A and B are shown apart, each in its own frame.
Chain A
């Protein structure tokens, strides 16, 4: 017990140093001016019209993205999760694709379709393309790109939560009502807290998005914060612009926690081979299949195809590979190391949350979620403020900064996967080992870890994908000469040839999709509980 307490306390401390300390130091730094305490940064922030406009833009973008993502993702999730629509798995995989690649790549692909030199210009002529291009480079374009990027989060949440509804509740209703009514009156209210949670997450992700608004030239707080730091090196203004995002994230998560906690009633782990209600679409099947196919073609296939068309020849891919080779290697290496660190940290964090072994487990849980929801610019700024000093230059001037950023932002992912995996392992497994005289380390090594190996592997792959697609943190903290692929493509966009950029984007997608295939294979075997 003592060993367990010591190790879990140490893990909590690591999380505090990696995640919490940068936030505290950054907040403190935002209160400093020339030579002492100063609220000048905040005074400027609160008194300039531009700040309020930025806040309005940020909120507008986040709200519209969350709302539209939910309006599309929820019905789509119900359609793919609760009906007999053909090719459901294929659709889920295709719709999920934009979620695993950096959002700005989706923006690039949309620019290839709707931009001034895009496919639309060729089809409809320049005047029409100019109007469409005007819409793309602004709020409508940002919303379009972010909805197609984050809608899969709502879709996946809906799919997950409909599978956790106790089938008995739906069957009881089926005895007196038609399937659609059961779906509306029973299933929907039961999954509402989960879907609202996902919508909140989408709101926060859109609020903190940097790459898309920057590429589509729509001014929001993360862009302002980044510009103040990288263009003007005005640290006070940059941190002051980051703090409102942190506060907003904290408030939204707080409200969500108070409103939605304990509301996931009647939800249970997915049963092994358990049957849930499936709505037979009958004659509507063809029509709905057509609608989903068109949506998939518009939102996923068309932008991806546009990149392939733009890249054109093999020569472009070879030039792209030559241009981004080092960055690609950095990305693969950092993602692999980052995912491994995240799996280890996430395992202990997940174990702590699941077993509630320390009284601080709830704070750890909330802390990791808060860090995940925080805009990456906020985390990046915090890391710079904390580590940019002579005594810690051995960290600041190295790729360790990127790894620290990954650990700070993405531990919630691997932690959650561990919690979900542990929920499927009966507590009696570890208890039996304890009663046989095994100490905690031995129990972990010989019982818990082997039973969790599929969950941990899934967690590793998910973390790997998120590290690979990360743009915000890497862009802020990468040391000279050690940029990642996502950062390299972003910088190429300033002066690179369109076919080179498109080919680099295709390479980025390929490096992300390959591990995704691995995830899909692991998830398929996850249905079987390891001890059975």
Chain B
């Protein structure tokens, strides 16, 4: 079942088109990686999907409902039930780890007992239960990464959007966290849309790969096909 659909979407900033006629369908549970060099428009795809910006042309649908259409946002970000892990993680520095996870659950109106239960389960899942009272600044880069992931997943979103979340880490830690992401995906089965410029990272994570260049889709293929194309 299609959970996300871009239909002929275009977007321009200050007269410069960064996304041309972009169409994409993401099925539930898929791990779609959008791969491309800097400035190719991949982050714009995520921001359009999250509802931070409106498409100039085209339609974006989420779970069968039109969320944005030419120049208009029909569903505001908080009503789309999507979560995002940002490139700089955007952990709220004035809140504890628990506060970071609790913010969205509170906004959803969940009672305290359920909030505590969900937070505890999620922190255990990312092996960060011991740090629930810590502030983001007290955590290492890898720990912050896990908390950002936990904060996104604790909301049980329709899809998880990730904007080059591992780009600032060393290769060893990056590989380790990729493994953790796949483990969590296997357990929770969420839909993932992951943006990166790193081919190895893309190959590790994706079930489907969308290659972008100059704001256009060059090709969109299952990972097996992508890997065949990669062989010398």
| Most A C-beta atoms less than 10 A away, residue of B51, B77, B83, B84 | B77
Q: Which residue of A lies closest to B52 (CB)?
A: A171
Cβ 8 A contact of B52, one of A174, A178, A186: A174
CB–CB B137/A175 < 8 A: no
Q: How far is the CA of A172 from the CA of B51 in the complex (A)?
A: 11
Cβ 8 A contact of A168, one of B78, B88, B103, B108: B88
Task: Please give, as numbers and ranges, the residues of chain A lying within 8 Å of B137 by CB-CB distance.
Answer: 265
Cβ 8 A contact of B104, one of A175, A189, A265: A175
Task: Please give, as numbers and ranges, the residues of chain B lying within 8 Å of A169 by CB-CB distance.
Answer: 90, 92-93
Q: Which residue of B lies closest to A280 (CB)?
A: B76
Taking chain A's interface residues, is the majority helix, strand, or loop, or is none over half, making it mixed?
helix
Say yes or no: is B190 at the interface (Cβ < 8 Å to chain A): no
CB–CB A173/B50 < 8 A: no
Cβ 8 A contact of B155, one of A176, A189, A265, A266: A176
B62-101 contacts to A (CB < 8 Å):
76-78, 80, 82-84, 86, 88, 90, 92-94
Say yes or no: is B107 at the interface (Cβ < 8 Å to chain A): yes
Cβ 8 A contact of A265, one of B52, B83, B93: B93
Cβ 8 A contact of A166, one of B52, B80, B84, B88: B88
CB–CB B82/A175 < 8 A: yes
Task: Please give, as numbers and ranges, the residues of chain A lying within 8 Å of B103 by CB-CB distance.
Answer: 173, 176-177, 185-186
Q: How far is the CA of A280 from the CA of B64 in the complex (A)?
A: 26
Say yes or no: is A181 at the interface (Cβ < 8 Å to chain B): yes
A172-B84, A177-B104 known; A265 and B94 CB under 8 Å? Answer: yes
CB–CB A172/B78 < 8 A: no
CB–CB A181/B107 < 8 A: yes
CB–CB A171/B50 < 8 A: yes
Min C-beta distance of A161 to chain B, whole Å: 13
CB–CB A176/B107 < 8 A: yes
Say yes or no: is A190 at the interface (Cβ < 8 Å to chain B): yes
CB–CB B90/A175 < 8 A: no
CB–CB A175/B92 < 8 A: no
0 or 1 for each of B166-208: is its CB under 8 Å from A? (1 = yes)? 0000000000000000000000000000000000000000000
Min C-beta distance of A477 to chain B, whole Å: 45
B99-146 contacts to A (CB < 8 Å):
103-104, 107-108, 137
Task: Please give, as numbers and ranges, the residues of chain B lying within 8 Å of A185 by CB-CB distance.
Answer: 103
Cβ 8 A contact of A174, one of B77, B92, B108: B77
Q: How far is the CA of A171 from the CA of B88 in the complex (A)?
A: 12
Cβ 8 A contact of B78, one of A177, A186, A266: A177
B49-66 contacts to A (CB < 8 Å):
50-52
Q: How far is the CA of A173 from the CA of B84 in the complex (A)?
A: 10
Task: Please give, as numbers and ranges, the residues of chain A lying within 8 Å of B94 by CB-CB distance.
Answer: 189-190, 265-266
CB–CB A168/B50 < 8 A: no
CB–CB B78/A176 < 8 A: yes
CB–CB A176/B90 < 8 A: no
Interface residues on B, range: 20 to 34
CB–CB B107/A177 < 8 A: yes
Task: Please give, as numbers and ranges, the residues of chain B lying within 8 Å of A166 by CB-CB distance.
Answer: 88, 90
A150-192 contacts to B (CB < 8 Å):
166, 168-169, 171-178, 181, 185-186, 189-190
A109-168 contacts to B (CB < 8 Å):
166, 168
A177-B78, A265-B137 known; A172 and B92 CB under 8 Å? Answer: yes
CB–CB B78/A174 < 8 A: yes
A171-B50, A171-B52, A189-B94 known; A178 and B88 CB under 8 Å? Answer: no
A172-B84, A175-B83 known; A186 and B104 CB under 8 Å? Answer: no
Q: How far is the CA of A177 from the CA of B93 in the complex (A)?
A: 18
CB–CB B93/A175 < 8 A: no
Min C-beta distance of B224 to chain A, whole Å: 32
Min C-beta distance of B11 to chain A, whole Å: 14
CB–CB A172/B86 < 8 A: yes
Cβ 8 A contact of A178, one of B50, B84, B107: B107
Q: How far is the CA of A169 from the CA of B52 in the complex (A)?
A: 13
Task: Please give, as numbers and ranges, the residues of chain B lying within 8 Å of A190 by CB-CB distance.
Answer: 93-94
CB–CB B107/A171 < 8 A: no
Task: Please give, as numbers and ranges, the residues of chain B lying within 8 Å of A265 by CB-CB distance.
Answer: 93-94, 137
Q: Which residue of A lies closest to B77 (CB)?
A: A174
CB–CB A171/B78 < 8 A: no
Q: Which residue of A lies closest to B87 (CB)?
A: A168
CB–CB A175/B84 < 8 A: yes
Q: How far is the CA of A172 from the CA of B52 in the complex (A)?
A: 10
Q: Which residue of B lies closest to A177 (CB)?
A: B107
Q: How far is the CA of A171 from the CA of B83 in the complex (A)?
A: 11
CB–CB A186/B92 < 8 A: yes
Min C-beta distance of A322 to chain B, whole Å: 54
Q: Which residue of A lies closest to B53 (CB)?
A: A275
A168-B86, A171-B86, A265-B137 known; A176 and B93 CB under 8 Å? Answer: no
Task: Please give, as numbers and ranges, the residues of chain B lying within 8 Å of A181 by CB-CB distance.
Answer: 107
0 or 1 for each of A249-272: is its CB under 8 Å from B? (1 = yes)? 000000000000000011000000
Task: Please give, as numbers and ranges, the residues of chain B lying within 8 Å of A168 by CB-CB distance.
Answer: 86, 88, 90
CB–CB B86/A175 < 8 A: no
Min C-beta distance of B122 to chain A, whole Å: 14
Cβ 8 A contact of A266, one of B50, B80, B93, B108: B93
0 or 1 for each of B25-51: is its CB under 8 Å from A? (1 = yes)? 000000000000000000000000011
Min C-beta distance of B31 to chain A, whole Å: 20
0 or 1 for each of A181-212: is its CB under 8 Å from B? (1 = yes)? 10001100110000000000000000000000
Q: How far is the CA of A28 from the CA of B155 in the complex (A)?
A: 65
| Most B C-beta atoms less than 10 A away, residue of A171, A175, A178, A190 | A175
Nearest 6 CB-CB pairs, A to B?
Answer: A176-B104, A177-B107, A168-B90, A172-B90, A265-B93, A189-B94
Q: Which residues of B contact A (CB under 8 A)?
A: 50-52, 76-78, 80, 82-84, 86, 88, 90, 92-94, 103-104, 107-108, 137, 151, 155
Q: Kindly list 6 other residue pairs between chains A and B, CB separation below 8 angstroms, not including A172-B92, A265-B94.
A: A166-B88, A168-B88, A172-B86, A175-B82, A176-B83, A176-B103
A-B contact pairs, 25 of them (CB 8 A): A168-B90, A169-B92, A169-B93, A171-B86, A171-B90, A172-B84, A172-B86, A174-B52, A174-B76, A174-B77, A175-B50, A175-B78, A175-B83, A175-B84, A175-B104, A176-B107, A177-B107, A178-B78, A181-B107, A185-B103, A186-B103, A190-B93, A190-B94, A265-B93, A266-B93
